[in-house]
Amino acid sequence: MAMLKQIIESKLRDIEDRQARRPMEAIRALAEMQARPQPVLNTVTGGQKVLIIGQVRQSLSDTGALTDAYDPVSLGLWLVQAGAEAIALFTDDIVYEHGLDDLTLLTRAISVPGIVQDYVLNEYHLVEARAAGASGLFLSTAVLPPKEVRNLISAATRNRMTAIVEVHNEEQLKVALAYSPHVIGIGNRDPENHTLDLENVHRLRRFIPSHIRVMPTGALQTWQDVAVVANLRVDAVLVGKELISSPADGAKLRDALNRSNETMNSL
């Protein structure tokens, strides 16, 4: 938690510096010049059709150093070709300083919606993402005060973006449900060792009303993960190049999700 606090404080300073160089009015004008945001999870599917979101992010070593060569545009195009129907780009400038620049290049290159996966901390940060072409973004109840969650959901709506409000426990879920967001993302990473924790999705899913779309926010890593999540009636899954690296993998993933839905609907 101490490390997270330092990260947030550093990000807020960076946002303040950017806003001093380019005021909100300039960023808002740039945002208004962008193509209209594409819809992301704009219909309730009840698991009938699960959106496949490809995750693009730079890999880190155990020491926190950047690892292999990183080309987010090529990786995003690869994932779309493999079957991803939206792309989530990790833009945390604490880890990788060119995130927003890459988002601009990526959203221009892909034909599917682009989603910001970052700690979006205020409206200026949100409008920056819209100016870079993003159609959706993640909002974390773990780092945002409830009032700011409400404000950013409202700002996303005004900018015609989809806000995916991420929760990790029942207390955070209550905060999110109070503002009736279009999408709730359930954190499915163990906070201690960051391993995939799909039980948390199962535990919290039952408290979410049917009119709100639901997705796990940790990228699925194995086909067993896919089978478990598909049986929870989620509306989207997040996957990386490790799971779908070819159109054949994408077709296999879509088939696995569809077969699970057909089984559940027949019960």
Does residue 232 contact residue 202 with C-beta atoms inside 8 Å?
A: yes
CA–CA gap between residue 215 and residue 166 (Å, rounded): 9
- Say what the pLDDT of residue 57 is: 82
- Say what the pLDDT of residue 258 is: 80
Question: Could you give all domains of the chain from N- to C-terminal order, each with its CATH number?
Answer: 2-34+48-265 (3.20.20.70)
- Say what the pLDDT of residue 67 is: 56
- Positions in the chain short of pLDDT 50: 63, 191, 193, 264-267
Strand partners, 239: 54, 220
- Say what the pLDDT of residue 267 is: 42
- Say what the pLDDT of residue 3 is: 75
Bridge-based pairing state of the strands 51-56 and 236-239: parallel
Reported pTM: 0.89
- Say what the pLDDT of residue 266 is: 45
- Say what the pLDDT of residue 265 is: 47
CA–CA gap between residue 220 and residue 188 (Å, rounded): 9
- Say what the pLDDT of residue 60 is: 56
- Say what the pLDDT of residue 73 is: 93
- Say what the pLDDT of residue 45 is: 52
CA–CA gap between residue 166 and residue 173 (Å, rounded): 8
- Say what the pLDDT of residue 35 is: 92
